[in-house]
Amino acid sequence: MQKILSVLRKACEQFELIENGDKICVGISGGKDSLILLKALARFKTFSPKQFSLCAVAVDLTGGKNDYSNIQNFCDSLDVPLTIIPSNVFEVVFEIRQEKNPCSLCANMRRGLLNSTAKELGCNKVALGHHKDDLIETFLISLFFEGRLSTFKPKSYLSKTDLHVIRPLILCDEEEIVKASQNLPILHNICPADKRTERERAKNILQDLNKLYPNSKEKIFNAIINKDRYNLFDKM
């Protein structure tokens, strides 16, 4: 956990993710990434030079089928208030719309509920649990499945909701999160598309690349964050 705190602090300083007076809403999916993020931010809050407050929001995609009691106890132990938002996202995506590629619609609906709740709670920032591997996988998804060069940023501004989205784990390797996630109240993923998504394919591509060309993950990451862009067309 100490290494995660170290890279989280580095990201917050390098990308100016947290300022004095921030009220940060941590999006809780129930997976290891969001729970580690909440735990790390709660600890960081005790020694950070910036004064900020935290709350947690979980969007229940299942219409009440998920049991959040253990996550509630986890949030209570961190002294972070938890708000659970019931929704029928899975019903809309998989039953009503029967989406062939459900992840995009699901993510948009989930983010909309998360952001609107964050505003209602008086938050000015939303923190998401995306880490270094997510950044690279998103880049690969964009490259191989969309034919463009794109990924998410450490910090972005949503003009429609007047919220900043921050990703304090963006410098953290997923391997470190896995190591630190023992004994966390991880919610079982009941998504029908679990392990059958483009992100899972991108994860496999990255693993294969790293086996074929050792340290390729770090090189791809450095290429993404490198400010210099060589031999890329500005205009066609």
Average pLDDT value for residue range 151-161: 94
Using an 8 Å Cβ cutoff, are 39 and 31 in contact? no
Summary count for the chain: helices (H), strands (E): 9, 6
CB-neighbour burial class of residue 235 (10 A; exposed 0-12, middle 13-18, buried 19+): exposed
Look up the domain containing 152 and give its range. Answer: 2-225
Is 170 within a domain? yes
Is 167 within a domain? yes
pTM exceeds cut of 0.85: yes
Q: Is residue 94's pLDDT more than 80?
A: no
Least confident of 64-68, 116-120, 196-200: 196-200
Give the pLDDT of residue 197.
76
Give the pLDDT of residue 6.
97
Is 236 within a domain? no
pLDDT digits (tens, 9 = 90+) for 110-155: 888 999 999 999 999 999 999 999 999 999 989 988 898 899 999 9
Is 32 within a domain? yes
Is 158 within a domain? yes
Residue 234 banded pLDDT, cuts 50, 70, 90? low
- CATH (domain of 93): 3.40.50.620
pLDDT digits (tens, 9 = 90+) for 179-197: 999 889 998 766 666 666 7
pLDDT digits (tens, 9 = 90+) for 16-57: 999 999 999 999 999 999 999 999 999 999 999 999 999 999
Is 137 within a domain? yes
Is 88 within a domain? yes
Which CA distances in Å does 117 have to 120, 125, 146? 5, 11, 31
Q: Is residue 214's pLDDT more than 70?
A: yes
Q: Is residue 97's pLDDT more than 90?
A: no
> Domain count of the chain?
1
Q: Which residue has the higher pLDDT, 161 or 192?
A: 161
Is 231 within a domain? no
Mean pLDDT, the chain, rounded, equals 89
- Strand ranges inside the chain, DSSP E: 22-28, 52-60, 82-86, 125-127, 155-158, 163-166
Residue 69 banded pLDDT, cuts 50, 70, 90? very high
